[in-house]
Structure 1
Amino acid sequence: MTKLYMHRFTLIVLLLMFGMVLAACNSKDDATGDTATETEKPSEVAETEEDEKAAEEGPKKGGTIVGAMYSAPAGMFNPIFYEDSYEANIIDFVFEGLVSQNESLEFIPSLAEKWETNDDQTEITFFLQEGVKWHDGEEFTADDVVYTYKAMSDPDYESAGGVRANYVQPLLGYDEYQSGETDEFVGVVADGDYKVTFKFAEPNVSPLYYASFPIIPEHIFKDIPVKDIPEAPESLQPNKLIGTGPFKFTDMIEREQYVLSRNDDYWKGAPLLDEIVWKVVAQSVMIGLLEKGEIDFVASPGGIAPADYDIVNDFGNVVIVEQADFGYQLLGFKHNHRTTADVESGALTPDNWVPNKKLSDPKVRQAIAYAVNRVGLVGEGHGEGLLHGRGQPINSPIAQQMWAYDENAVTKYDYDPAKAEAMLDEAGYVDVNGDGFREDPDGNEWVLNMDYPLGNELRERSAPIIQADLEKVGIKVNLRQPSEMSVYVPELTDDNTDWDLYLIGWNLSSTDPDPSGLWATRAGYNFSRWNNPKSEELLQKAVKAPEAFDQKYREEVYAEWQKLFSEDLPALLLYAQNSLWAYNDRIQGIKILPHTMYQDSHEWWVEDAE
């Protein structure tokens, strides 16, 4: 049986004023999205009848599918504490939120069956699904929702490594509870077992976004201090992880294999598959295993390499999905470093941060931006490049699919090494001793340390290319040995070090364009330790009611913020790579959404199930 589909989404998201959108559970974002198109080769038409016959026979129960990821999860599988996308590959099948999203990025019911807001948009009340069970048989209730958000508001949450405080900061009484001034948590309140209300300190323009976080079980964690949750077996180990999702995390060989087994009591109906097995596979051998059927799908993060597209396109048993990615790769600039005392205590205290003098001049960061050949990395007009043209350089850290993305508001750093050299000369960074590398304005050696992680082959190959680009304009770069993500991310977070430049990629939220989760000063993911008061002012202004209920107003504020970002440069955005997902056509029932292919995995089935 031979079948090949290519899906291309050209998605334009146009949201109505939030005050109108969030009135009831059947409210819709005003959005349009091209549906996936299907094309078949002439030689494949005969097989279509066989496919249709199999579909007519209906879904089959049983079977195992194998997914591949090219880096091992760091090992944290608790939604409120995890950090990397590889951990999310487990979490996405185990845990659920009150709402999810459809193909148009509209919020739709999940653990909540409906919701309503009050007149002034300071409260949103959810009516929960009844009969939902946790994996251990306990009933899911409103108390679990309250507990999840209370834990993320806990005074010890951030110091324990929590990086998602942005979901709780707008809640009523957050500051008082987080600071320890009061023991009463009033931001999320249960009214019986199946009704829960989120209360905000001010009218909120996107309450569904803040209420969309995966829920964890109160009965599992209530007796564990929040500061100890990251070390608890219930956050780390198979058969200890308890969610409401369609699959249970049942076994692992750490750094090699992770097994998800069917949840027979799943509230939407027992999954058809017996198991989903994740294997950690080197990117260099993934495609061969996909062709042989030893792995069944390759998706987030990264998917198949652009260089392998034509090879996979010739496989007779694989479906390819190509669409714009919700994310980007970046070259980060360490503006500041945390103190050792703050690292040891887990504090994010901007007033204590130590400026990184090697990159403190914005002209230097801009010169670096002009010196990096981003188009060359992508491949447009410069040979095949690393992406073979399947992606594009971007200049804004807001997802291109979002209504707030504004390419015209930003500085576009075209490859211009001559301009980079002139800017460095003007800033006083010149080659004093004639060795080909520039010294700083005081005549001291100027070397930028650059770090990057293993796992993503494109990122690994980008690192020495970027080093070479910078050295062409006289910037000496100490490209250090890469490390596994499980080591890299903690070192990047605990940054009382000599890091200057770093490579990382971000998968962006599909729920709202607000970039504060990555770039607000106190955001855990603000690894650049960017501390710009004007940025803080604009980020807060963009979500402050009542003005922010007007989408046009938010667009204007975010345009000003994007301009600021591109000028002050906490990072140089390298490129947005097209998502290239692939799966064996023995798998049926997969729904391709703009941001995931893991939706409704309980409906997946395989034709050869016995």
Structure 2
Amino acid sequence: MNRTFRRLLILLVFLCMMGFLLVACNDDGDEEGAETEDTTENTDDGEEGKEEEAESGPQEGGTLTGAMYSAPAGMFNPIFYEEAYEANILSFTHDSLVSQNESLEFIPSLAKEWETNEDQTSLTLKLEEGVKWHDGEEFTAEDVVFTYKSMSDPDYVSAGGIRTAYVLPLLGYTAYSSGEADTFEGVVAEDDYTVTFHFEEPNINPLYYASFPIIPEHIFKDIPVAEMPEAAESRDAGAIIGTGAFKFTEMVEREQYILERHEDYWQGTPYLESIVWKVVAQSVMTGLLESGEVDFIADPNGIPPADFETVQGFGNIEIIEQPDFGYQLLGFKHNHRTGEDVESGALEPDNWVPNEKLADPKVRQAISYAVNRQGLVEGLLYGRGQPINSPIATQFWAYDDAAATNYTYDPDKAGSMLDELGYVDADGDGFREDPDGNEWVLNMDYPTGNELREKSAPLIEQQLEEAGINVNLRQPKEMTAYVEELTNDNTDWDLYLLGWSLGSADPDPSGLWATKAAYNYSRWNNPESEELMQKALKAPEAFEQDYRAEVYSEWQTVFSEDLPALLLYAQNSLWAYNKRLQGVEPLPYTMYQDAHLWWVNDAN
């Protein structure tokens, strides 16, 4: 599509959109727990101004400033990054073979078309030709092979890699990742622009596994996988190379991150000249948005719910409100890793040490009844969210609220359950001892950066202590240090607060809750859960969505009874942007859609 035609098309779409409110879309298959909400927009501009703006059409140039309240940890290699703050950069710098639309269906991106073989064990994709990396080198099928081969490397996990969910089903993964095989069979380049994914067994959702961002072979081929995380090519502005619409060119670490447009972007040169990310305190974000010093606030948590009505009154700001693709949780540490396993980077469930303070699932259930989740939603979210009972996004067809236990706030029930289990206040100090009469203190940790989480921590502490549970609420840690300790399983952790932004490709929860999943910070080891998650992906039965929904209903029951975590709430996404920004077409899970088509109406 040439640039002139594309501009005309954008103009027509823009004219059509001016008379309508954006609507948050859910998957057509949603039945349980899904909500559809109107996007909130301020419409106090005059019609005359809108007509002038529409007539002008997309303009070249200009800079946007985005804000996030916590600094990226500094890992900008897609196969190694961990945090949403790093994803804010990578969303603009790296592309995947396929993307998704508003109905969560897979659509072409770097791959323009594809087909599967008859028994669903192979997926062959035809790639776009002429795609350029940021340094001018050409993107080919070898880059795809290299990306997946790197994530299957024997040193990948020990180097800190956590994206094994994308490679586990691939043909020969086990042999290659263990070092038993020298060649990788899972992804093969047929020619420069054709790549085939081979699976060990028939795969019900092959495009999901092909949806990971691609890294450049010519940049990393001489860097051992074990050394990739510390390489400049994974960390330094100017050395990060992707195929995305913007290049990561400069940074003042923990303060500012600058992206400049990729002139040779394969979908057309972006209209914007640059995007600047600033790290600012959440408490001042709203003021900066009003003054125009910040143009947009989106992932990971958007504008604070307490500021919604204030921002809604700003004449220069649009708000997008829709159900979040994620949740906040109170995690229970079931087990801890050994020091040896932490040092070697191994995830060996047979070596895990049980956390006796939380070993009984009924204790975890009692704790859950002592937490006022609805109160958190009303008091902290100002009603802009909902308690949820399952770690599957409400937008997915697999979410089944009825299958999970609803831990409504019931401190009396929490107390009676603990009484029956022998956790009673034997010495009259107001706190319960364990059944052996020993002091029972639960350490609780949480990170800084997210005001809602910071405010939740002392409220949860107070609620648990009202039920006689002695909580040692420790000083919060900066997110990078917090995640490191959480990953390494400091052996005195019991309770932790965390939030997850979920993937939109499939409801499969194994990436977070499988026994050996790196993100399984609770170190949950439940054979029934493991069996059900595998069953839900097993062909041929799993080709039927109704079958998978039934299996996932069973799994949600197991999760909510064994409780690796208490799901606190899913807050509404509250994304806000300055009206000078045009061309925003949000998806259910992101505002960063087709950023090469974003433009500002005051560009010089």
Give yes or no for TM over 0.5: yes
Q: How does 1:565-576 map to 2 (within 5 A)?
A: 565-576=559-570
Is 1:11 the counterpart of 2:5? The answer is no
Offset, 1:336: 0.4
Is 1:497 the counterpart of 2:512? The answer is no
Q: Is the 8 A contact 2:442 2:470 kept in 1?
A: yes
Counterpart residue identity of residue 509, structure 2: P
Q: Is the 8 A contact 2:444 2:472 kept in 1?
A: yes
Q: Is the 8 A contact 1:303 1:582 kept in 2?
A: yes
Is 1:450 the counterpart of 2:449? The answer is no
Counterpart residue identity of residue 221, structure 1: F
Offset, 1:58: 1.4
- Cα separation, 1, equivalents of 2:21 and 2:324: 15
Match of 1:397 in 2: 391
- Cα separation, 1, equivalents of 2:35 and 2:564: 32
Cα pair distance change 1:478/1:397, threshold 3 Å: same
Q: Secondary structure at the match of 1:574?
A: strand
- Cα separation, 1, equivalents of 2:450 and 2:40: 29
Q: Is the 8 A contact 1:13 1:401 kept in 2?
A: no
Is 1:201 the counterpart of 2:200? The answer is yes
Match of 1:226 in 2: 225
- Cα separation, 2, equivalents of 1:134 and 1:36: 38
Deviations 1:96-147 (A, max 9, x none): 1000011111111000010000000000000000000111111100000001
Cα pair distance change 1:95/1:437, threshold 3 Å: same
Offset, 1:36: 6.0
- Cα separation, 1, equivalents of 2:189 and 2:403: 44
Counterpart residue identity of residue 263, structure 1: H
Q: How does 1:90-239 map to 2 (within 5 A)?
A: 90-239=89-238
Q: Is the 8 A contact 2:35 2:395 kept in 1?
A: no
Q: Secondary structure at the match of 1:191?
A: strand
Match of 2:541 in 1: 547
Offset, 1:318: 0.3
Offset, 1:246: 0.4
Counterpart residue identity of residue 79, structure 1: P
Bigger mean CA offset, 52-61 vs 590-599: 52-61
Within the candidate set 548, 555, 579, 1:561 is matched to: 555
Q: Is the 8 A contact 1:5 1:40 kept in 2?
A: no
Is 1:346 the counterpart of 2:361? The answer is no
- Cα separation, 2, equivalents of 1:58 and 1:276: 20
Is 1:535 the counterpart of 2:529? The answer is yes
Deviations 1:279-314 (A, max 9, x none): 011111000000000000000000001110010011
Q: Is the 8 A contact 1:337 1:355 kept in 2?
A: yes
Q: Is the 8 A contact 1:258 1:277 kept in 2?
A: yes
- Cα separation, 2, equivalents of 1:572 and 1:136: 46
Q: How does 1:39-438 map to 2 (within 5 A)?
A: 44=44, 47-379=46-378, 385-438=379-432
Match of 1:607 in 2: 601
Report sequence identity in percent.
71
Cα pair distance change 1:269/1:567, threshold 3 Å: same
Q: How does 1:461-472 map to 2 (within 5 A)?
A: 461-472=455-466
Is 1:521 the counterpart of 2:520? The answer is no
Q: Is the 8 A contact 2:386 2:570 kept in 1?
A: yes
- Cα separation, 2, equivalents of 1:510 and 1:33: 16
Q: Unaligned 5+ residue runs, structure 2?
A: 1-17
- Cα separation, 2, equivalents of 1:209 and 1:428: 47
Offset, 1:35: 9.6
Deviations 1:410-435 (A, max 9, x none): 11100000000011111111111110
Deviations 1:426-485 (A, max 9, x none): 111111111000111111111100000011100000000000000001110111111111
Q: Is the 8 A contact 1:115 1:125 kept in 2?
A: yes
Q: Is the 8 A contact 2:39 2:320 kept in 1?
A: no
Counterpart residue identity of residue 282, structure 2: Q
- Cα separation, 1, equivalents of 2:407 and 2:372: 9
Offset, 1:496: 3.8
- Cα separation, 1, equivalents of 2:20 and 2:311: 12
Offset, 1:11: 1.8
Offset, 1:53: 1.7
- Cα separation, 1, equivalents of 2:140 and 2:413: 60
- Cα separation, 1, equivalents of 2:40 and 2:490: 51
Match of 1:592 in 2: 586
Deviations 1:375-421 (A, max 9, x none): 00001xxxxx1000000000000000000000010111000000000
Counterpart residue identity of residue 123, structure 2: I
Q: Is the 8 A contact 1:289 1:295 kept in 2?
A: yes
Counterpart residue identity of residue 311, structure 2: V
Match of 2:506 in 1: 512
TM-score (ref. length: structure 2):
0.95
Q: Secondary structure at the match of 2:380?
A: coil
Cα pair distance change 1:4/1:82, threshold 3 Å: farther
Over aligned residues, Cα RMSD in angstroms? Answer: 1.7
- Cα separation, 1, equivalents of 2:584 and 2:22: 13
- Cα separation, 2, equivalents of 1:156 and 1:351: 21
Number of residue-to-residue matches in the alignment: 585
Offset, 1:222: 1.2
- Cα separation, 2, equivalents of 1:70 and 1:258: 13
Offset, 1:592: 1.1
Q: Is the 8 A contact 1:9 1:33 kept in 2?
A: no
Q: How does 1:23-38 map to 2 (within 5 A)?
A: none
- Cα separation, 2, equivalents of 1:9 and 1:135: 33
Runs of 4+ residues deviating >4 angstroms: 3-8, 32-41
Q: Secondary structure at the match of 1:307?
A: helix
Offset, 1:52: 2.2
Cα pair distance change 1:428/1:8, threshold 3 Å: farther
Deviations 1:146-176 (A, max 9, x none): 0100111111111111111010000011111
Match of 2:7 in 1: none
Cα pair distance change 1:454/1:39, threshold 3 Å: closer
Offset, 1:56: 1.5
Q: Is the 8 A contact 1:586 1:606 kept in 2?
A: yes
Cα pair distance change 1:154/1:179, threshold 3 Å: same
Q: Secondary structure at the match of 1:60?
A: coil
- Cα separation, 1, equivalents of 2:48 and 2:125: 45
Counterpart residue identity of residue 349, structure 1: E
Q: Unaligned 5+ residue runs, structure 1?
A: 16-31, 380-384
- Cα separation, 1, equivalents of 2:162 and 2:99: 21
Q: Is the 8 A contact 2:59 2:271 kept in 1?
A: yes
Deviations 1:490-514 (A, max 9, x none): 1110114211000000001111000
- Cα separation, 2, equivalents of 1:559 and 1:13: 19
Counterpart residue identity of residue 222, structure 2: D
- Cα separation, 1, equivalents of 2:20 and 2:476: 37
TM-score (ref. length: structure 1):
0.94
Q: Is the 8 A contact 1:370 1:419 kept in 2?
A: yes
Q: Is the 8 A contact 2:25 2:587 kept in 1?
A: no
